[in-house]
Structure 1
Amino acid sequence: MTGFLGEYESTLDPKGRFLLPGGFKKQLPEGESTFVVCRGTEKCLWLYPSSSWKPIYDKLSQLNDFDPKVREFRRFFLGSASEVELDSAGRLLIPPTLKEYAGLQKDITLASAVNKLEVWDTTRYKQLIESYSESFSFTAKNVMVDYNVTI
């Protein structure tokens, strides 16, 4: 598989570690144990397997340093990026600044986002998904038409 499917809940321990759910472990490329975690949009974190991160980093490194939008994006996105590795118990450590950015307390939800996982505070994630429930049909139609996707 070249991406992720599903959403799973996990729990942060007092040190900011969580157990990577087995459902996602099964979807990782064989031998993948290193990730990059960084700020995402809507106050979540983005968790990239290293194999997904490298092509993104390579593209970002080729952007024009003289463009203020590029510098702003890099500061926000790359400035927060940290490499994390699965420990012997299958846990990942969220750095304190990222934990604070995403408002992570104890209960977290990991949601698939194609080549990465989103890490959310569970309450915030449920509220976000609930806010989509009435408009999802309209959004789905627009995305499928605007991007010419057929299923």
Structure 2
Amino acid sequence: MYTFTGEYEVKVDAKGRVRLPSALLKQIGEGALNFVVNRGFEKHLMMYPSDVWEKKTTEINQLNIYNTKQRQAIRYFYRGATKIATDGAERILLPKSLVEYAGIEKEAVLFAYHEQIEIWSKDAYDEMLNSEPDNFAEIADDIFGEGNSVSDNA
């Protein structure tokens, strides 16, 4: 079980390699240096430790391929999925097609939470942060307020 936390600005070299920050490596732990990266919900990438990817694919594979929306969800989830691993310098090599999709150039942000790590171009991440709502409290109230608890929706 992972409980990733943090935002990490990283450099991306000309080959698309990113060195994982030591603070993030400590959260990943020993032997969990194999990942799967795919396209995220927005113009970013999602990176999962291999064991988390297996859990996610078990969930997504429960969908019905004969239902159009579910079949599309399966396709969208798997698009660009690529196995990656750290090298001896604790770097990952991001696939060129995914780097292009996310608009990642020389700088990126690794946004780690729960069991996954989002990989954003620094500019897109900054833009996303700048478009945050002025009143996050209203959104939190809509989601978690009276009668809307997460356990009520489970």
Task: Give the alignment's TM-score, normalised by structure 1.
Answer: 0.91
C-alpha deviation, 1:62, in angstroms: 2.4
Structure 1 pair 147–97 and aligned structure 2 pair: CA distance change class (3 A): farther
Give identity over the alignment, percent. Answer: 36
Displacement of 1:133 after TM fit?
5.3
Contact 2:63/2:71, CA 8 A, preserved across alignment: no
C-alpha distance in structure 2 between counterparts of 1:69 and 1:29, whole Å: 37
Q: Which amino acid aligns with 1:24?
A: L
Deviation readout 1:37-77 (Å, 9 max, x if unpaired): 00001211000011211111112222211111122122222
Deviation at 1:141, TM superposition (A): 2.5
For 1:24, the equivalent position in structure 2 comes to 24
For residue 82 of structure 1, report the CA deviation from its aligned partner: 0.3
CA distance in structure 2 between the aligned counterparts of 1:60 and 1:122, rounded to whole angstroms:
29
What is the deviation of 1:87? 0.5
Cα offset, 1:142, TM superposition:
2.2
Q: For residue 11 of structure 1, what is the amino acid of its counterpart?
A: K
For these two proteins, the number of residue pairs brought into alignment is: 149
Structure 2 counterparts to residues 101-112 of structure 1, below 5 A: 101-112=101-112
Counterparts of 1:37-116 in structure 2 under 5 Å?
Answer: 37-116=37-116
Structure 1: gaps (5+ residues): none
